[in-house]
Chain A
């Protein structure tokens, strides 16, 4: 299968400090990949490195081209806007659309206008006068209207309320995604995005903690709700995290046979936020 992004041992330095360490990722077509990590974990650095904005060493191919060599041509097929606050504040929305339709061969002006009408934004307004939420909506409109093979979004829903965030992800993926394209989204909002993701990458302190499909993750990580009677047996098994819950404890396991756990209590698929927290906690302990 063709990779849209393939990074092998990618490293990035900022002065003397290493901001990305041996990053290995492989993203194929038709994927919605969540890049999840705490603040300062290196998410934005990684995204910028993937499009050649940050200096990096190691093997990197995006749409079979090295972004560090191919330059601006890459952005005909890869759409990346760092975040909604990077939109030019002095520009009116219709001016921005006019510019994009001129320079971006994959920008669909009709679609953008339609999506803008749907979002109730006034095209004659200066982008700088939009609220954070409105700017985020505009950001999504632009991202959706560009018919690129790879969409890279950095915190696209920053500043939006819960309802808008959900709606936005739904609209974005409904309007954008097909079997040829992929979306890489960095976010903190794990709970809201979880249902839309096909793959997930956890990053902390410039290192990839986990890169996996959601299917594999569902098989690998299981959560056991155990009462005090079986707690000792449950704790004897190698777990990756645990927390108290009404009537006992919830323990998270990785790569443990489901049948074995079912003997001890109620087993369910672990949620992404618990997996993330347990992995981060594991790293912190080390």
Chain B
């Protein structure tokens, strides 16, 4: 019985992966490739990439290492990039001059001494890198959810799925779990891989400034904290997004032709009526609380019990409505 139940749930999840294999399997691969190119680009032009792809943080980190080396090495030699020409040049300084030039750089905020003192600077870089990467599965999951109860009504397979011994409640719960946890898990692994690759690639610029890359990385990275963050972020993100995602499922059960346009219409209608009737923006403000950084504030939902409980209640309400409209569809193409 338990075996059948687990194989049944696995089959339902597998079915979702079969249907969305392009985005769930090729998506992360594509993301890894694009990120790899971006990381190599960042590593090569680490001090000139501005804020692109964590470039500022990375640049500060590398230049921080540079500054530390100057402090430790007695100013025999320092390597800085030529900002104008784009060619990395090596200049020699006397101790005093070198320290003087360092001050100049810190004035322009190129070096943040706090960052140098922070022994786990790489965790911060990887944290923001991961958060940025995880925007991709967020968009993919929303796109998947707004269509998940619509496409079978459009292609005529609705009654086939209904004639399986799977209740709408089970069907919708599995779809939501896939979007909240399974898709982010796949992309989370991709993000983990990207982070490892980025660490490997950043061996080069660290080595270039004359430091031992392995010891620098180990000095600046708390591995257990890094892994723990990835797991916690995955769970927190899943719980945080539940109300938004269940709204997308509801939209999917109501949509006639396009889940995207129906959701845009529904959101605009809700915002409009709220502002006209009550003169407030609670819907948007409330929705933002359940969206992750950088769309919203960088907070964890599990740290706020009120938000957590309210989110779960909203999720249950939207899901109950979605189950109702799944059983009694308003629009059916066959």
Contact = CB atoms under 8 A, between A and B. Distances in A.
Residue among A72, A74, A76, A104 with the most chain B CB within 10 A? A72
Interface string B139-153: 000000000000010
A168 B157 CA distance: 23
Contacts of A1: none
B7 interface: yes
Contacts of B170: 72
B165 A73 contact: yes
B160 A102 contact: no
A103 B156 contact: no
Given A90-B19, A102-B8, A102-B12, A72 B164 contact: yes
B8 A88 contact: no
Given A101-B11, A102-B12, A103-B11, A87 B159 contact: no
Interface of A: 48, 51, 53, 71-76, 79-82, 85-92, 95, 98-105
Contacts of B157: 86-89
Contacts of B158: 86
Interface in B224-268: none
A91 to B, nearest CB: 6
Interface string B10-39: 111011001100000000000000000000
Contact of A86 (B12, B19, B167, B334): B334
B159 A53 contact: yes
A81 B156 CA distance: 12
A72 B327 CA distance: 10
B152 A99 contact: no
B165 to A, nearest CB: 4
27 contacts: A48-B159, A53-B159, A53-B162, A72-B165, A74-B165, A75-B165, A79-B163, A80-B163, A81-B159, A82-B159, A82-B160, A86-B158, A86-B334, A88-B161, A90-B18, A90-B19, A91-B18, A95-B18, A98-B14, A99-B18, A102-B8, A102-B11, A102-B12, A102-B14, A104-B164, A105-B4, A105-B165
Nearest to A55: B328
Contacts of A100: 164
Given A82-B159, A82-B160, A99-B15, 7 more contacts: A73-B167, A75-B163, A75-B165, A80-B163, A86-B156, A90-B155, A99-B11
Interface residues of B, number: 27
Given A88-B157, A99-B14, A102-B14, A81 B163 contact: yes
B166 interface: yes
A269 B152 CA distance: 46
Interface of B: 4, 7-8, 10-12, 14-15, 18-19, 152, 155-168, 170, 334
Nearest to B12: A103
A102 B11 CA distance: 5
Nearest to B328: A55
Nearest to B11: A102
Nearest 5 CB-CB pairs, A to B?
A102-B11, A72-B167, A75-B165, A88-B157, A86-B160
A98 B11 contact: yes
B204 to A, nearest CB: 44
A98 B17 CA distance: 12
Contacts of A79: 163
A106 B310 CA distance: 41
A46 to B, nearest CB: 14
Nearest to A73: B165
A8 B334 CA distance: 27
A209 to B, nearest CB: 26
Nearest to B17: A95
B163 A89 contact: no
Nearest to A92: B18
Given A98-B14, A102-B11, A103-B8, A88 B165 contact: no
A82 B18 contact: no
Contacts of B166: 72, 103
A89 B15 CA distance: 13
Contact of A51 (B10, B12, B15, B163): B163
B152 A103 contact: no
A86 B159 CA distance: 7
Contacts of A95: 15, 18
